[in-house]
Amino acid sequence: MQLTSYTDYSLRVLIYLDTIVPPKLTSIREISEVYKISYNHLTKVVHELAKLGLVESIKGRNGGVRLAKKPADINVGWVVRQTEDNLTLVECFDEENSACVLTGHCRLRGILKEALHAYLEVLDSYTLADLTANQSILHQLLKIK
């Protein structure tokens, strides 16, 4: 399974915002430059994170973005479920539109559903705080002063 770049960028934004000490407002431009991600694409990601209640966005000259929740309250599995638009691993997961002649009788479908469940269960066991426990290294890599 491969996550979309949208989910990847969402997680990276959250990691960046949690790495800033003390927590302060940061610009989307700053984050896009650090990660070398399109500013326009990252703006959409941050907008969605704000709608999900994960990021607080403040407009204006002195505005920016910051985490809206404590890192320990941001569950990685939940973020992935909210930012992935399609967790359908194979065609037969969508019974209404599946054209596979094996649908309903193929054992692979059950195995893949079990694997997806296990994958999400592992992600559910982590929070943003777990992802950023190595703050000193993250500060160096993200060039945070």
- The string of pLDDT tens digits covering residues 15-24 is 999 998 677 8
pLDDT at 138: 86
The predicted structure's pLDDT at residue 94: 65
Q: Which residues contact 56 (CB under 8 A, 6 or more apart)?
A: 50, 65, 66, 67, 68
**CATH number of domain containing 42:** 1.10.10.10
Average of per-residue pLDDT across 92-112: 74
- Return the minimum-mean-pLDDT range out of 21-25, 51-55, 98-102: 98-102
66 vs 93, residue with greater confidence = 66
DSSP character string of 115-137: HHHHHHHHHHT-BHHHHTS-HHH
pTM: 0.86
| Residue 134 binned pLDDT confidence (cut-offs 50, 70, 90) | confident
Computed over every residue of the chain, the mean pLDDT equals 89
79: domain range?
Answer: 5-141
Domain count, the chain: 1
**Contact residues for 78 (Cβ-Cβ < 8 A; gap 6+):** 124
Distances (CA, A) of 44 to 7, 32, 65, 97, 139: 12, 12, 13, 30, 25
For 55-92, the pLDDT digits (tens) are 999 988 888 999 999 999 999 999 999 999 888 766 66
pLDDT tens, position by position, 108-128: 888 888 999 999 999 999 999
